[in-house]
A and B are shown apart, each in its own frame.
Chain A
Amino acid sequence: GAVVSQHPSRVICKSGTSVKIECRSLDFQATTMFWYRQFPKQSLMLMATSNEGSKATYEQGVEKDKFLINHASLTLSTLTVTSAHPEDSSFYICSAYSGAPYNEQFFGPGTRLTVL
């Protein structure tokens, strides 16, 4: 199956700093990527949908200026958490949609963000 990577897998940062998380499709081109957030023992909540070459579509309640998403190429989407605060500590997971032949979505391994 297709492979999606995320980097870093784990990051600890100080409050007020910005953190960038990368999501890469390694062996396919992803026209659409999704970013989810998951708090401990809870469900995955969709944050935004990112299409290559266009602005991301954010879910209600997700601050666009705080969670900057860039999908500059067909294999890379980035999520930047700006001015991070402890409440932003969470598990961030991306998924990438592959057209033919898979025609399916594949998840990255996730990034655990801890803001001190």
Chain B
Amino acid sequence: AQKITQTQPGMFVQEKEAVTLDCTYDTSDQSYGLFWYKQPSSGEMIFLIYQGSYDEQNATEGRYSLNFQKARKSANLVISASQLGDSAMYFCAMREGRQAGTALIFGKGTTLSVSS
């Protein structure tokens, strides 16, 4: 079974609109971390937001927020007021266990296209 599932291969949104990118995860660990990364065409991985499994509040970072629903094992990324520069591939990732020095497991990604 996949650990991280991103069901949307591609998403299209107009400038200034909000968009939600879906992510569900599967783990039996009680302690884990969830991440979202943006990968533009240059290939670099840009960290966007992090949610710890014990965090009670949804994480927010500027225009990015993470809709964390633990019981449903979902960690959707919400981008408010989309900009043309948001066009990129977006990856949801998970780190299992308490140790920060554990490798990340990535989903297949969602390509976001923002139009004017």
Contact = CB atoms under 8 A, between A and B. Distances in A.
Contacts, number: 48
A107 B44 contact: yes
Given A43-B106, A43-B107, A109 B100 contact: no
A111 B103 CA distance: 19
A42 B108 contact: yes
Interface residues of B, number: 18
B18 interface: no
Interface residues of A, number: 23
Contacts of B100: 97, 103-105
Interface in B88-116: 89, 91, 100-101, 103-109, 111
Given A43-B91, A43-B109, A31 B44 contact: no
A101 to B, nearest CB: 12
Nearest to B111: A41
Contacts of A95: 45, 104
Contacts of A46: 103-105
Contacts of B89: 41
Interface string A17-44: 0000000000000011010001001111
Which 3 A-B pairs rank lowest in CB-CB distance, beginning with the nearest?
A107-B45, A97-B101, A110-B43
Given A31-B101, A45-B106, A46-B105, 7 more contacts: A34-B104, A43-B108, A43-B109, A44-B45, A44-B91, A105-B100, A107-B44
